[in-house]
Each structure stands twice: as C-alpha cells, then as structure tokens.
Amino acid sequence: MEIKKGSLRWTDVEIRAAVDAYLDMLEREQSGQKINKAQENRTLRAGALAERNASAVEYRMQNISAVLSQMGRPGIVGYKPAGHAGANVEKIIRERLNEWDNKPNPEDFGPTADDATLERRATQLEKRTIKNPPEGIAKPQQSASSRAMFVRDPAVRAWVRQQAQGICEGCGESAPFLMNGFPFLEVHHVKHLADQGSDRISNAVALCPNCHRRCHHSSDREEFTASLYQKVLRLTRED
C-alpha cells in the first residue's frame, strides 16, 4: 500500500516543531517584525515537517491559532483560526507556551566552572529549542578553585542534550530516567577537558551514565571512544 504524503498521524515531534515555529513567528510579529509565512512553511518542510505538504502545514498553523483563541490568547494575524486540534496538540501548545513564558535569562548563557550552576543554566536553556549550534569554548580555562573545574558553556550542554532527544549517543538506548522532567543524559567531552579538549559541540556527546562511565573507566574505553567518532557525525577529532 502506498502511503500518501502527510496521510499519517502527526507525531509529537512534528507537532512540537509546528508549535515552536508558530510561537517564534508570533513573538516576532508581536515585536513588530514582518513574518514571511511562505518562507516559514518551506523552512519547516525542509526540516522537521518533511513528510507534510504546504497546505497541511498551513492548516496546522490555523489549528494552533484556534487553540490559542480558545485559550483567550492572541495568535498570528495571518493564520485564521480553523479546525479542531486534538487534545495532544493542545497539550503540546500549553507546554510550549509555558516554556515560552519562562524565557531564559541572559545570565543563563554565562559560562561557569561551577557544576551546579552549569547544570541549572543548561536546564533553563533546554526549556526552549536552541536553534543555532552554540559557539562553545575552544580552550576552556581552569578556574582557580582547588577542585580545578573548567569553565564551560551551558548552551553547549543544553544543545547537545536537546539534539540527543533523550537517546544516549553511545548505546542508542533511552535515558534511564527523568530528572526535572527531562531525560537524564550526561554531557561528556570526548577529548577530555583535562587533555585540552574543547567545550564545543564537536567534542561533546550526551551519554547515559553507563556509557559515560565506560568512556572514563572501562577496559575498552579507547575503542568505545573511537566508536563515538563514527556514530556521532558532528564530532571532530582534536589534537
């Protein structure tokens, strides 16, 4: 049986991508910028919504307007409310709105050597989709404290975990549990910071605790580390 493009039920990932794009446009519209609906539609279909056609994407946007209007919230002027969004769509909109309402503080982007602060900032940043891969830090400095922690970029940690979507980049298994509602994965520097590795997305992977320990302590740590460069295409070897 041939499956017609767009005939399948929308996945959560697709709905979330549509809602994110919508809320992003809404924010820009509300701040007085011009939005190009056709361009946004194409961009979505070049990425997360590759299985959908232009009119399906357009209709989904109108659908999101309908939910917002039911919630008594303003929507994008160009998308007239239409259709009945399912409960799942509404749930995702509510979640994303909630995240939108609590935007990261500029300070959350600040690099830090303190692990608890780094984690708190990365968790804040992860609440919104990070569109552009962060620049990161080519040569992380060691802080003066006796524990000699490295200054790291919270956006690198957040982005790497976001890309992993809850799946360990080492073994391909789901994160073993949730922490603060997010899949628990640890961000490991493939070339260790202590060996002058960078704090950049090209040197960082999201791993389950088992794979993370394996990288540091296992008998096969070198082979396992080498396999990461094969599996995770954004990684580059640093010398």
Binding site for Zn ion (CB under 5 A): 168, 170-171, 188, 208, 211
| Nearer CB in complex with Zn ion: 18/208 | 208
Q: Is 196 left (phi over 0), alpha (psi -120 to 50) or beta?
A: left
Q: How would you class 181 by CB atoms within 10 Å of its CB: exposed for 0-12, middle for 13-18, buried for 19 or more?
A: exposed
Least distance to Zn ion, CB of residue 221, Å: 10
- Per the listing, tokens 């962060």 go with 134
| Nearer CB in complex with Zn ion: 102/227 | 227
Neighbouring CB atoms inside 10 A of 55's CB total: 10
| Nearer CB in complex with Zn ion: 201/211 | 211
| Nearer CB in complex with Zn ion: 118/208 | 208
Least distance to Zn ion, CB of residue 130, Å: 21
CA distance 104 to 212: 28
Least distance to Zn ion, CB of residue 228, Å: 10
| Nearer CB in complex with Zn ion: 35/171 | 171
Least distance to Zn ion, CB of residue 31, Å: 40
Least distance to Zn ion, CB of residue 148, Å: 15
| Nearer CB in complex with Zn ion: 98/227 | 227
Q: Tokens at residue 152, please? A: 């790291």
Least distance to Zn ion, CB of residue 135, Å: 21
